Copies of this chain bind each other. A is one copy, B any other.
Amino acid sequence: MGLGGYASRVAESMQSCKRAKITGLISGTPAKLDEWGAKYGVPEGSRYNYENFDKIKDNPDIDAVYVITPNALHHDQVIRVAKAGKHAICEKPMALNAAEGEEMIAACAAAGVKLLVGYRLHFEAKTLEVVRMRSEGEFGKIKFFQGQCGFRIGDPNQWRLDKALAGGGAMMDIGIYAINGARYMVGEEPIWVTAQETKTDTVKFKEGVDETILFQLGFPSGAVASCLSTYNMNYLDRFFLNGEKGFAELQPSTGYGPIEGRTNKGKLTQPHVTHQTQQMDEMAGIILDGNEPVVPVDGLEGLKDLKVIDAIYRACATGERQELKLV
C-alpha cells in the first residue's frame, strides 16, 4: 500500500525473496497500479485504490499488507487492513503518537491479525551480531549508547516536512532509529528521557517540524544514551555501544547500504544482504510460519518507540525530564 519511493525499493528487493511475494497493490494512482501490476505480475483483480481496498478481505492471494504511506495515514489504514482480516506490516513510525499506536494494536488483536512494524535492521546480520555479543555479556555491563542519526533533507515540499502528514520532522523519520537502536543495543527499556531542540532553518522546518533534537535516555541499570536526530546534517549514521569489557561501533549503522562496524574484538564481517529482502522474507516467516525474531518487530515494539517520541516532544516543549513507562 502506497507505491512511492520507499515502496519501490521494497518491491525491487522482494524480487530476491524466497518466502515473500507481491500479490496485490494499493495506490491512489491508476497509472502506478498499471505499471506495477505489469512489472510484478499482479493481476487487475488484485489491484486496489484507497476507496476500495477493504475488498482485499475476499482475496485469498493476499496474506498481509505492507503500509508504506505518510505517517498520518498509518493509523486508519492499518485498522482497515486489520478489519479486512489481513495481517499488517506498517512502516515506521507506526503512527503519529502512542495513543494511535495503542488503537492499532487493539484493532489488530480484535481482528486476530498480526501487526508488524518495518524495522528492517532487526534482521540485519552485523546488528544482530552486536545484539548477540551484548546479550551474552561479551561487552560486560553496558554503560553507554550513542546514536547519531540524520541527513540533510532535500525537497522542501515533500510530505516528510509537512506536519499534518509526518506528525513532526526528523524525529519521526530518522531520529526513531536512535531510539529504537538504543533499546536493542542496550537491551533495556529506558526509564527517563531529556531532550533539547535547535532550529537553524525556520523556512524549511516549519512549526511542529523538528530539524535537530538532542536527546538522552536513562536505563534501569544506570546506563545512559546520548542521541542526535537531525534533518540538517550529513556525515552521521553512527551507533556506539560501550560496556565495561568492550565496545561496538556501527558506522553506517542504519543506511540501506552495507552496515559497517567493529567491536573491541575486531571488524564485523557478516555478509551484507539487501535489508528489505531479508526483512520481507523474515516477516513472511513470522506471519506464515509463526517464527519469533530475536529483536521484536511487533506492534508493542513500535508503540514503545512512539511513547519515547511523545516524551521527547514533551521534554523539548517543557525543558523537563520525562519519566518513561514502556513495560
Q: Give A contacts to B, CB under 8 Å.
A: 141, 143-144, 146, 148, 152, 194, 196, 198-200, 212, 214, 216, 218, 221-224, 226, 228, 230, 232-236, 242, 244, 246-247, 264, 319-321
Contact = CB atoms under 8 A, between A and B. Distances in A.
A236 to B, nearest CB: 7
Count the copies: 2
Contacts of A216: 196, 214, 216
Contacts of A218: 196, 198
Given A143-B212, A144-B212, A226-B228, 11 more contacts: A143-B232, A144-B233, A146-B148, A194-B196, A194-B319, A196-B321, A198-B218, A214-B216, A233-B244, A235-B242, A235-B247
Given A143-B200, A194-B194, A319-B321, A224 B214 contact: yes
Contact of A198 (B152, B224, B321): B224
Contacts of A264: 235
List the 5 closest A-B pairs by CB distance, nearest first: A200-B222, A235-B247, A143-B233, A198-B224, A214-B216
Given A194-B194, A216-B196, A233 B242 contact: yes
A144 B228 contact: yes
A212 B226 CA distance: 12
A242 B236 contact: yes
A321 B141 CA distance: 30
A319 to B, nearest CB: 5
A244 B150 CA distance: 13
